[in-house]
Structure 1
Amino acid sequence: MSTKPATPAPTLFAAAADAGGAGPFAPGSRVGVLLPLPLGGLYDYRVPPSERAGVVAGQVVEVPLGKRREIGVVWGAGTGDVPEAKVKDLVRAFPAPPLPDVTRRFVDWVAAYTLGAPGAVLRMAVSVPQALEEARPLTVYGLRDPADPPDLERMGLKATRARLAVLRAAAELPPLPAAELAREAGVSDGVVRSLAEAGVLVPSLVQSQLMPDRPDPEHPGPDLSGLQADVAEDLRRRVRAHEFSVALLEGVTGSGKTEVYFEAVAEALRQGRQVLVLVPEISLTGQWLARFRRRFGAAPLEWHSELTAARRRDTWRAVAEGRAAVVVGARSALFLPYPDLGLIVVDEEHEQAFKQEEGVLYHARDMAVVRGQLGSIPVVLASATPSLETVLNAEAGRYDRLHLPVRHAGAEMPAMDVVDMRRFPPEKGDWGRSWLAPTVVEAVTQTLEKGEQVLLFLNRRGYAPLTLCRTCGYRIQCPNCTAWLVEHRLVKRLVCHHCGHSAPLPKECPSCGAEDTLAACGPGVERLAEEVQGRWPQARSVVVASDTLGGPSAVAAMMERIAAHEVDLLIGTQVLAKGHHFPELTLVAVVDSDLGLSGGDLRAAERTWQLLTQVAGRAGRGEKPGRVMLQTYQPDHPVLHALATGDAESFLEAETEGRRAASMPPFGRLAALIVSGEDEAAVDSTCRALAAAAPRDPAVEVLGPAPAPLALLRGRHRRRFLVKTPRGMRIQPVMRGWLTKVRVPHSVRVQVDVDPYSFL
C-alpha cells in the first residue's frame, strides 16, 4: 500500500464529528457509543444526571446491552435514529483517560480499510477492561529495619532455608507483594504469608500504579561511525520536525541499525514524547532489551501476549496516562492509547509475523505508516532485507531510503558457499541417516576445534514432519486440519502445528494394524540433534526452537548462555535467524536451503531470500571472520545465486519484473475471501451463492471458489476466493458491494483479507 491513507469508506468518526463534535456532552444529551464487539455501528445512549460534568468523546463508559453490561467508548453525538423512549442511560463513565482523538480516527481507518467491524478493531484498543478502574491499594511486605533483620530462632521460628531466603530478599529489595517477594526469594507465597502472620514481615498499603523508570536520552551510548552518525542525525531531524515521514533504514546484518534508530528514540525522549518500537516476535526482545538498557540506563515497557494480566493492566494504564515513555511490543502494541506518540519504529519490517491472520486481518507495518500519518509522526522501517513493497515505495519517493552498507567496527560479511547435495550427498553414520554433506561435516569439525560456535539452521520444528507406515503407506494426519502430524520425540507425541492437537505415537499403524512399521520421514531439528550427538558428542549442543523455549525470560536466558559461549553448537529454527548477536559464532550451515522455495505463494522466493540472508547474517559478527554454507538440491535457483554472489539487487529486479508482468502486488491489488464452517455442505452452498453474485466488472478478476490448501483447519472446512484488481482501483467498495448481495448463514463465517500475505 502507499502512504496516502485515503479512507476507503465513510467512517463512524467522521459521522460522529458531523453530528456534534467532541463534547463535552451534558447530562440528558445523547451520545453515540461504539462497543468493542463485532458489530456494525454506534448505539445511542443518554448521559445520566450522575455524570454532572458530562462526558467527552473518547470517554470509556459502561452501558446496558440487553440483560448485560458492556464497556464502550463515546464516539460523538448520538445518531438520533432511536426513539427517545427507547434510549437508555449510560451506567457510568470509567475513571480512565479518554481515548485520544487520533486513536479513534485510527480505529475507524483500520476498520474501513480491512472491512472489519469497527467494534472488533476497538477491542484491540481497550483490550484490558481491568485497566479502566482506579488501581486498588496493594499490600506489600517488608522488614521493619532492613539493616537489622530479625532473629527467627528468638521469635520461636525455625530458620529454614526458604525463610532465610525471604529475609535476604526483603533486606535487599523494597517492600513487594507476597507473590513477587516469593518469586525473588525462590519460594512459595505461603512462606511469605506465614512470616507476615508471625510478625517477621510488616504489611503496608501502597498505590499499585506502575511508575516505570524513565529512559535517559543523555546516558552514554556507543561510538557511532561517521556514516552511522550522519544517518542518526537525519532521524533526529525528523523527530524534531514533528511531521509525518517514512524512512527505510536499510543496512547489512551487523551494520548497527538498532544503535542508529536508538538516536531517534533519544531525540523523542528529549522532546518529552512517547516512542513505540514494533518487533515481529517476542524472541527478538531479549538481546534488544539488554542493548536498550545499556543505551538508556532503564528498560522500556513491554507489550505482548506473554505478559501477566496484572502487567497488561498496569502497562495499558501507564501508556494511557503518558507514564510509559517507550513501549516495545508485538503488532497489537500499535493500538494502545498513546496520548503523545512522537516516533514509531518497525524493526525487521519485512517479517510476515507483522500480518495478523485471525480476527481483524491487518498488517502492522502498513498500519504503522497510517498511524504515523494520522498523528504527524515520523516512522522508521528497519531491515537488512526490506520487503519488495517497501523497496518500491522508496524508489517511488514515497519513503526516504537511508543505507548502512557495511558492518560496524570493521567486521566483514561472511563468505558464502553453496553445497550441491547432488554432488556431495550425506554419508550414513552409526546413529542412522545423515543430513549433512561431508564438506559441511568437515567445516563444523574444524570450527569446533578452533573453539568457535556453529549454527545448524533448519526451519522445521520437531523430529520429523511426516510419519508413515512402511507396509501400507498410511500417513498420520491431524483429525482437525489438512496437515500431517509432526513427531516430537522429546515429548513422545505427534503434534499438529496448526491447531495444537497432539496424540501419543501409536505402536501399530492406525490403518493396517501392522506393528513397528511407522517410520519418520524427513528431518526436524530434533532429528538433526541426533546426528550432532553422534558426530560431535563432546560439543555442548542445544536445540533452539519456539517449542523448546518458554516465555521471553527463558528466551533471554538462552541467548545469554549462547552469547557467553556456554554452548558450542546450536541447532535452530527461525527464532535464531534475526536480531541476535553472538560474537563467537563463525559458521552457519543451512541444512535445507530449498525449504520454502515452492508452494504457490507469490512471496515464496522473496521470503526465502530474506530468511536465509538473515540467518547467514549471524555468522562473523565479531572480530573473527564468518562462513555460511547453503545445502541445496537447486544450486541454480535465483535465490541461491543471489545469496552466493551477494547480488541482491539483481534478484529483487527479477522478482519485481515477475510481479509486474503478472500484475501481482505491489503492481496489482489482491483480496481474499475465506469461507469456513463446521458444516461442509453449508460452506459449499454459501460459496455457490457468492460465486453467483461475484462482481462482473471487467477490471475485477475473481478466482475460485477453491478448497484452501488447508481445506480443514481446527475442524472448520475452508474455501477461498481470490479477487484481483488493478493497482489504482479501490478494492474495498468491490468487496463490500459483493458481500451485501449474499445472505450468509450463522453457521458460516466469511472473512475478508485485504492484501493477503498467507495463501493457506
Structure 2
Amino acid sequence: MAVARILFVLPLPEPFDYAVPEGMDVRVGSYVTAPLGQTERLGVVWELLGNEAVAGRTLKPVLSVYDVPPMRDAMREFISWGAKYTVSHPGHVLGMTLRARGGLSPSPTETVFHLTGDVPPKLTGARRRVLDAAEEVGAVNAATLAAAAGVSSGVVKGLEKAGALRAEEMAADLPFALPQPDLPGAQLTGEQAEAAAVMKASMRTGGFAAFLLDGVTGSGKTEVYFEAIAEALRVDPDAQILVLLPEIALTQAILSRFEARFGAAPAPWHSGLSDKERRRTWREAAHGRARIVIGARSALFLPYANLKLVIVDEEHDGSYKQEDGVTYHARDMAVMRAKLEGAAVVLASATPALETMVNAEAGRYTRLMLAARPGASRLPDVELVDLRRAPPEKNHWLSPWLIQALKETLAAGEQSLLFLNRRGYAPLVICKACGERLKTPGTENWLTEHRYSGRLVCHVTGYSIPKPSVCPACGAKDSLMGVGPGVERVAEEVRVLMPEARIEIFSSDTAMGGDATRGIIERMETGDIDVLIGTQIVAKGHNFPNLTLVGVVDADSGMKGGDLRAGERTYQLLSQVAGRAGRAERPGRALVQTYAPDNPAMLALADGDRDGFLQIERDVRAELGLPPFGRLAAMIVSAPSAEMVEEACREISLAAPNGAGIELFGPAPAPITVLRGRHRRRFLVKSPRNVDLSAYMAAWLARLKPPRPVRISVDIDPYSFM
C-alpha cells in the first residue's frame, strides 16, 4: 500500500500522511480529498512513499482523486520556494493556486437551443423576435435567448415544441479558441525587429532566459513581445504563454489587440471575473488548452501544463506587490516561476524599476532597447509649472498656464487628460465649527467625500456612510467641509471653466467592471470626450490618438512620507502619464504642476533624463545599503489596544536573533497606526545582499509565542511601508 503525503490548503507546517486505497490512481501532484479531523479537505499529493512507510501505523485513506492533470513538479517547487521566501505556510501559497476550485471538476452542462429551419404555423411577433435573436447569437440557453429577444423563456420553450428550435445538452464552459501565430503582425521598425529577433531566437533555443524590454512610452513594446509569443507557439503549438498586467482596466483594453493579432481572445484571469469565468480559465490552463492567459498578478499561480513564456508588462508598477495574506512581488516571483519552468521571461517597461536595471547591468537580464516611437509620433514636451510663481486662484486647483492650455487644446479639436491620483471630491472632510476630521471608526484613516454619490468613503477599508448633515463631534449643522482636491472636484472646476467641453472621470469609482472601463476607453478613442480626468488608472498602456495635452494637477503628492521609493515611483508615474500625449501624428505636451520644480524627479522629467535620475537614486541607495544593494524586511505587529501591542513589541524585540550585518529598527508606529480597530507597530530589518533574510525572519518568528489577540505578519522586500 502506498502512502500519500498531502499538503492541505491550511496554515500547517508540513504535509500529512494518508493511505492510498487499492486501485485508486493517485500520483505525485494529484488533487485529492482526505479527512482531516471531522472535515473532508482538499489537498495536493506532495510525495508518494512505499510500503515501508505504513509499517506500524494506522493511516486514514485518501477519499477521492480529481480527474485533473497532476500539479507539475516545477509548480510544486515554486510553491515550496515561495513559502520559504515569503515566510509563509506552504498551504497558504497552495491556496493561491486553487482560487477556482470549480475548475477541478468537468464543465457543467446546460441546455442550448439551435434553429431547425422550420417555421411554426403560428408565428407571432414574440416568436419572430426569438428566431431572429437565435440567428444572431447562435446556440445559447433559454434565458439568454429570451433576454436577447425581449420575451419570456416560455416563448422559447413553445418554439421548441413547435419544432422551430432544437434543444441540446452541451458544456457550459466552452474551450478557448486557439491562437494563430502566423497571422500578420504590425510592420516593425528596424529597432523593434532587432529586439524581436533576439527574443524569437530564445524561443527556438528553449530554456530559461530573462529579458528587459526597455522602451519609451509608445515605442511598440506590445508589438515586439507579440512576436515572441508567436514564435513560442510556432516552436511548440501546445506552449502556454502568461501575460501579466498591473490593472484590470489594462486587461480589458488589450484583449482586442490580442484578438486582432492572433485571431482569438486570450483567457482572462483577474478579480473582476465571475465564478464561471474563473473556473473556465483555471480548468483550461490546467489541461493545457488555454494557450495564452492574460491577467493580474494572481494569474502567476495558475497550474499551467506547459508554460514557455512569461511577460510582465509595466514591470515597474507598484500594484504587482501583493500586500494582503501572502505578501509577494509578482515581478520577482515571475522570474523565479520562469526559471523553475525552464521558460523565458520578458520584463517590459518605459520606466524600469531600479532593481531591474541593476539586474540588467549585471548581466542577469538581456536588455533590449526601444529608444524611439515609430512613425511620425514623438515624445511629448514636458514643462514644469511652478505653482509658487503661477498659483491657482483661491479655492481652485488649476494654474492659469494649465487653464490656457486646456482651452487651446479644446479649440484645436484635440483631447486633454488631467491626472490627479486622488479619487472622490475631497480627500479630507473637516468640521468648520470644531475642527473635527472625519475618520473611519477604529482607524486613523480620513474619510473621502464623494459628492456624486453623496457619501463619505474610506479607500483603505471600504467603509462608507452617507455624508452627515451635522458634525458627529459637536453637532453643528451644515458645518462639514471637503478639504483638498479629488478628481470630482477638478472635474467641477473644468466644467465651470469650459462649459462646452465633454468631460468624464476615469477612476475605480467610475470604471467598476469591464463594460464601464471599455465604454470610457471607446469614447476617448472615438473622440466623444474632450477632457478626461483620472487617477493612475489612466497612466498605463492606453493609446488615445487625438490626446495632445496632459496636465498633472498635483505632482508632489507622491513625494510625501518616508518611502525609500517615493522619488522613483513619482518619476515613473508622471513619466507614464505624460507619455499618453502625442502618440499619433499630432505633437503632444505635458504640463506638470509642482511646488518643488528643483526636485531631482521633476528635473529629470522635464529634461527627459531618466537614466540620470536613476543614477542619483542608485548612488543614494548604494551609500545607505538599501535595495537593490541591500535587503529589507518588515514585521508588522497588531493588537486591539496600544498597551497590548507595546508589550508584545517589547517581547518581540528581546527575541530577535543576532546576525552578522543585521540592523534592526523599531518598533515604530506604522504609517496607518490604527486599522480596523487594531493598533499597529512595525519593525524594519536591514541586511547585506548576501544574507538570507527570509531565513532570519523565519528563525525570529519561531521564537515567538504571542498571546492570541496579537497578530504578526512578515513582508520581505516591503514596498508601501504601510
1:166–1:306 distance in 2 versus 1, CA, 3 Å? farther
Query: Corresponding residue for 2:256?
Result: 290
Alignment check: 8 A CA contact 2:376 2:584 kept: no
Q: How far is the alpha carbon of 1:653 from its aligned partner?
A: 0.5
Alignment check: 8 A CA contact 2:308 2:343 kept: yes
Structure 1 letter corresponding to 2:74: V
Alignment check: 8 A CA contact 1:44 1:82 kept: no
Separation of aligned partners in 1, 2:345 and 2:301? 15
Query: Corresponding residue for 1:246?
Result: 210
Separation of aligned partners in 1, 2:11 and 2:495? 52
Alignment check: 8 A CA contact 2:120 2:163 kept: no
TM-score normalised to structure 1 length: 0.92
1:679–1:325 distance in 2 versus 1, CA, 3 Å? same
Q: 1:712 aligns with which of 674, 684, 698?
A: 674
Residue-by-residue CA offset, 1:265-286 (whole Å, 9 max, x unaligned): 0011112211000001111123
Q: 2:289 aligns with which of 323, 333, 347?
A: 323
Alignment check: 8 A CA contact 1:462 1:524 kept: yes
SS at match of 2:125: coil
Query: Corresponding residue for 2:487?
Result: 525
Query: Corresponding residue for 1:35?
Result: 8
Q: How far is the alpha carbon of 1:212 from its aligned partner?
A: 1.2
Stretch of structure 1 that moved more, 681-690 or 286-295: 681-690
1:449–1:313 distance in 2 versus 1, CA, 3 Å? same
Separation of aligned partners in 1, 2:350 and 2:147? 39
Stretch of structure 1 that moved more, 419-428 or 315-324: 419-428
SS at match of 1:369: helix
Alignment check: 8 A CA contact 2:670 2:681 kept: yes
Q: Map of 1:423-572 to 2, 5 A cutoff?
A: 423-427=389-393, 433-572=395-534
Query: Corresponding residue for 1:105?
Result: 77
Q: Does 1:375 align with 2:341?
A: yes
Q: Does 1:120 align with 2:92?
A: yes
Q: 1:339 aligns with which of 289, 305, 319?
A: 305
Query: Corresponding residue for 2:187?
Result: 223
Alignment check: 8 A CA contact 2:491 2:505 kept: yes
Separation of aligned partners in 1, 2:202 and 2:154? 53
Q: Does 1:232 align with 2:196?
A: yes
Query: Corresponding residue for 1:350?
Result: 316
Q: How far is the alpha carbon of 1:698 from its aligned partner?
A: 5.0
Q: How far is the alpha carbon of 1:57 from its aligned partner?
A: 0.2
Structure 2 letter corresponding to 1:42: P
Separation of aligned partners in 2, 1:575 and 1:197? 51
Query: Corresponding residue for 1:15?
Result: none
Separation of aligned partners in 2, 1:327 and 1:192? 36
Q: How far is the alpha carbon of 1:714 from its aligned partner?
A: 2.5
Q: 1:91 aligns with which of 63, 79, 104?
A: 63
1:289–1:89 distance in 2 versus 1, CA, 3 Å? same
Q: How far is the alpha carbon of 1:591 from its aligned partner?
A: 0.5
Separation of aligned partners in 2, 1:554 and 1:90? 46
Q: How far is the alpha carbon of 1:486 from its aligned partner?
A: 0.1
1:179–1:577 distance in 2 versus 1, CA, 3 Å? farther
Alignment check: 8 A CA contact 2:244 2:313 kept: yes
Structure 2 letter corresponding to 1:120: H
Separation of aligned partners in 1, 2:404 and 2:367? 41
Structure 1 letter corresponding to 2:527: H
Alignment check: 8 A CA contact 1:45 1:78 kept: no
Residue-by-residue CA offset, 1:42-71 (whole Å, 9 max, x unaligned): 0000001251xx311000111011111011
Query: Corresponding residue for 2:41?
Result: 70
1:50–1:533 distance in 2 versus 1, CA, 3 Å? same
Query: Corresponding residue for 2:623?
Result: 661
Query: Corresponding residue for 1:20?
Result: none
Separation of aligned partners in 2, 1:209 and 1:511? 54
Q: How far is the alpha carbon of 1:165 from its aligned partner?
A: 4.6
Q: How far is the alpha carbon of 1:745 from its aligned partner?
A: 2.7
Q: How far is the alpha carbon of 1:557 from its aligned partner?
A: 2.2
Structure 2 letter corresponding to 1:36: V
Please list every run of at least 4 consecutive aligned residues from structure 1 whose deviation after the TM superposition is greater than 6 angstroms.
Answer: 79-83, 186-191
1:221–1:548 distance in 2 versus 1, CA, 3 Å? same
Residue-by-residue CA offset, 1:214-253 (whole Å, 9 max, x unaligned): 1111111110111111111111011111121111001110
Alignment check: 8 A CA contact 1:481 1:499 kept: no
Alignment check: 8 A CA contact 2:386 2:597 kept: yes
1:195–1:35 distance in 2 versus 1, CA, 3 Å? farther
Separation of aligned partners in 1, 2:583 and 2:503? 20
Q: How far is the alpha carbon of 1:185 from its aligned partner?
A: 5.0
Q: How far is the alpha carbon of 1:498 from its aligned partner?
A: 0.4
Query: Corresponding residue for 1:57?
Result: 28
Separation of aligned partners in 2, 1:280 and 1:339? 24
Q: Does 1:270 align with 2:243?
A: no
Q: How far is the alpha carbon of 1:78 from its aligned partner?
A: 4.7
Q: 1:640 aligns with which of 599, 602, 627?
A: 602
SS at match of 2:67: coil
Q: How far is the alpha carbon of 1:201 from its aligned partner?
A: 4.2
SS at match of 1:88: coil
Separation of aligned partners in 2, 1:545 and 1:642? 27
Separation of aligned partners in 1, 2:322 and 2:344? 23
1:434–1:106 distance in 2 versus 1, CA, 3 Å? same
Query: Corresponding residue for 1:585?
Result: 547
Query: Corresponding residue for 1:139?
Result: 111
1:69–1:662 distance in 2 versus 1, CA, 3 Å? same
Separation of aligned partners in 2, 1:573 and 1:672? 29
Structure 1 letter corresponding to 2:91: G
Stretch of structure 1 that moved more, 171-180 or 510-519: 171-180
Separation of aligned partners in 2, 1:211 and 1:139? 17
Stretch of structure 1 that moved more, 205-214 or 292-301: 205-214
Residue-by-residue CA offset, 1:479-500 (whole Å, 9 max, x unaligned): 1322100000000000000000
Separation of aligned partners in 1, 2:125 and 2:645? 67
Any gaps of 5 or more consecutive residues in structure 1? 1-27
1:84–1:461 distance in 2 versus 1, CA, 3 Å? farther
1:276–1:184 distance in 2 versus 1, CA, 3 Å? farther
Separation of aligned partners in 1, 2:143 and 2:680? 45
Query: Corresponding residue for 2:697?
Result: 735
Query: Corresponding residue for 1:403?
Result: 369
Alignment check: 8 A CA contact 2:417 2:533 kept: yes
Q: Map of 1:589-600 to 2, 5 A cutoff?
A: 589-600=551-562
Separation of aligned partners in 2, 1:608 and 1:193? 59
TM-score normalised to structure 2 length: 0.96
Alignment check: 8 A CA contact 1:494 1:502 kept: yes
Alignment check: 8 A CA contact 2:423 2:535 kept: yes
Identity %: 51
Q: How far is the alpha carbon of 1:681 from its aligned partner?
A: 4.3
Alignment check: 8 A CA contact 2:510 2:516 kept: no
Query: Corresponding residue for 2:688?
Result: 726
1:108–1:187 distance in 2 versus 1, CA, 3 Å? farther
Separation of aligned partners in 2, 1:110 and 1:251? 30
Any gaps of 5 or more consecutive residues in structure 2? none
Alignment check: 8 A CA contact 1:480 1:499 kept: no
Separation of aligned partners in 2, 1:75 and 1:351? 34
SS at match of 1:497: coil
Q: CA RMSD in A?
A: 1.9
Q: 2:665 aligns with which of 703, 720, 724?
A: 703
Separation of aligned partners in 1, 2:703 and 2:153? 59
Query: Corresponding residue for 1:689?
Result: 651
Alignment check: 8 A CA contact 2:120 2:162 kept: no
1:447–1:737 distance in 2 versus 1, CA, 3 Å? same
Alignment check: 8 A CA contact 1:292 1:299 kept: yes
Separation of aligned partners in 2, 1:186 and 1:68? 46
Alignment check: 8 A CA contact 1:481 1:498 kept: no
Separation of aligned partners in 2, 1:552 and 1:380? 26
Separation of aligned partners in 2, 1:747 and 1:83? 42
